[in-house]
Amino acid sequence: MLQDEDLSPATLAAQGLGAAPTPYRDIVPPIHAATTFERAADGSLPGGRMYARDASPAYDPAETLLCRLEEGAAAALFASGMAAASAVLLALRPGARIVAPHDMYWALRSWLIEFCANWQLRLDLYAGDDELAAQLQRPADLVWVETPANPTWEVTDIARAATLAHAAGARLVVDSTVPTPVFTRPLKLGADIVMHSATKYLNGHSDVVAGVLVSRSSDAFWARIKTARAAGGAVLGPFEAWLLNRGLRTLYPRVRTAAASAARIARHFEHHPALVAVLYPGLTSHPGHAVAARQMEGGFGAMLSLRVRGGEAAARAVTARVRIFRRATSLGSVESLIEHRASVEGPGTRCPVDLLRLSVGIEDTQDLIDDLEQALQVATAAA
């Protein structure tokens, strides 16, 4: 008889683990809106819950499924990806040393610098695997990796980072928002915690802000993370949790379709006369391609960036001409998005001013190529 452990992750996701709740045998799980739970006459909690801020049954379907997809021991939903990342930092002890990348999600990097300064934590930034190795010649408490890294899509060798981090006495946390468990499972490669901005691919419909952490083990550090979530109130509402679980059921076809389209777009524009470069780990010309091919199974994600010949003015002109790509911040949904990333990040950005960040959705690929071709005509003319 076929058992759950024999099923592929795509099947488990599509069926929401396949468990229909009693008594109605619903195919779609109900929304659990209760905020508090009744005690028995002796003061015990026969339902195992006291208050939704600590543990809501609304979280169970998505947390259980994500544990299976990431092959972890425990998962926790949060009100946003930033809330999930914050909980990791709040679980550290005073004076802890953090090693994090120069190039990562801009809002998190900016907050991390400010948080460490205010809370007297030591923060050292690195650029590339070799600098990471040099930083970890000294003891550390936490190593943060984002791969591929937003918005230029540098690739970090997770297995090597895990070995280095553990030798330095540190936990390794991997922001795997872009590849998702469809293409990368950091815990299998040695990471201790994997983080997702679940707003993006895990939900996939631009209608939920959420975050999630999945841990290799339910240890004391994980207990402190759960305490930070409950005490800080960074919890997800029941309807949002239900929407996230709904989005997870189409995760594999959505992400695979978008990634296949992104790969085709990257190949089409790799040598385009209006572009200086196409940044996509699936291209053999990408400096991190070999590592990406080793640790990303079945695809290279649906994010890429175009560096436009003619600089900032030409890049902005391209965004003004697109018709199918939507000019909006965020990524990972069914619609394709484009933005001039440096102007979004503002002063202090490390992003090249000629860079356009693309989140490829699930529209017809040729339509997307045609849209970019007609928009790039302005840059070609200027060049």
SS3 173: strand
Please pick, among 141, 175, 192, 354, the residue that the annotation labels catalytic.
175
Cα three-residue angle 164-126-142, rounded to 5 degrees: 50
Please pick, among 49, 53, 160, 188, the residue that the annotation labels catalytic.
53
**What is the b/e burial string over 91-127, where b = at least 16 CB atoms within 10 angstroms of the residue's CB?**
bbeeebbbbbbebbbbebbeebeebbeeeebebbbbe
Q: Is 126 a catalytic residue?
A: no
Q: How is residue 62 written in tokens?
A: 């998505």
> How far is residue 198's CA from residue 208's CA, in Å, rounded to a whole number?
8
CB-hemisphere CA count at 13 Å for 342?
16
Helices assigned H by DSSP within 73-156: 81-90, 106-118, 129-135
SS3 137: coil
Q: Is 4 a catalytic residue?
A: no
Q: How is residue 97 written in tokens?
A: 């040393």
Phi, psi dihedral angles at 10 (to 5 degrees): -65, -40
Q: Is 200 a catalytic residue?
A: yes
Whole-number Cα distances in Å, 216 to 256, 282, 338? 25, 28, 35
Q: Which amino acid is at 329?
A: T
> How far is residue 5's CA from residue 383's CA, in Å, rounded to a whole number?
56
> How far is residue 254's CA from residue 333's CA, in Å, rounded to a whole number?
9
Closest by CA to 98, choosing from 146, 154, 141, 145, is 141
SS3 367: helix
Please pick, among 59, 68, 105, 316, the residue that the annotation labels catalytic.
105
> How far is residue 107's CA from residue 345's CA, in Å, rounded to a whole number?
8
Q: Is 53 a catalytic residue?
A: yes
Q: 362 with 114: CB under 8 angstroms?
A: no
Please pick, among 68, 200, 249, 254, the residue that the annotation labels catalytic.
200
Catalytic residues: 53, 105, 175, 200
